[in-house]
Amino acid sequence: MTLTKYGWKQWSCITVVLAIPLVVFIWLGWWIGVIAVVALWLALVSFFRNPWRRIPTGLETGTMLSPADGTISAIERVDHHGAIGGEALIIRIFLSVLNVHINRAPCACTLKEMIYTPGKFLDARTAESAQVNECNLLIFDNNGEPLGVRQVSGKIARHIVCPLKAGDSLTQGQQFGMIKYGSTTELILPRPDDVETKVNVGDKVKAGVTVFCVLNDSAIVTP
């Protein structure tokens, strides 16, 4: 396990700041203080942990992997979504401060557009937060079809990280950013009738590992 590059400024700062009392406590021989500082360092930098993941291979065509770690908080169908340009199925994941916060690509895709929207910082556990909080919408090209992933800030999370730019291609399970502290990530799929969901509300999922759903390609009509 390593620490993510997306949070190097934070974990570097934490390390430098806590190194000062650590050195002092070691010099004084106050080992209880040393243990306390080390425990605090582990607790703070664990948010930026980047565990090694074995990305599944040989998956059925159209299989989508979870774009985030967390708990499925909602699965809903909407008549229109801007990322898709029509009907869409949204699978929403709530990430607590204890979850790994690195986002991963649900499938092999290419970024078409990234739309950042400023907003509020309501508790990510509320339904309203998904509608009004600061967010970053990524619209991908998935074999000629649009696919959306939305990073949503929470009450504590106030910094969305996404270094991608239009034209960047991702492999399935590849890391592409993170949301610092509790937040929400959404996978937005076209053709809801052709989506076979593999998760339910309340399920625990892992980015790049958990099979989210299968988007059946039988309904695609070639112009």
Q: Which residues are catalytic?
A: 183
| 74 and 127 Cβ atoms separated by less than 8 Å | yes
Q: Is 127 exposed, middle or buried (0-12, 13-18, 19+ CB in 10 A)?
A: exposed
CA–CA distance, 7 with 29 (Å, rounded to integer): 32
CA–CA distance, 205 with 187 (Å, rounded to integer): 13
- The span from the first CA to the last CA of the chain, in angstroms, equals 47
Contacts of 58 (CB under 8 A, 6+ apart): none
| 211 and 62 Cβ atoms separated by less than 8 Å | no
CA–CA distance, 160 with 69 (Å, rounded to integer): 15
CA–CA distance, 213 with 81 (Å, rounded to integer): 19
CA–CA distance, 115 with 151 (Å, rounded to integer): 10
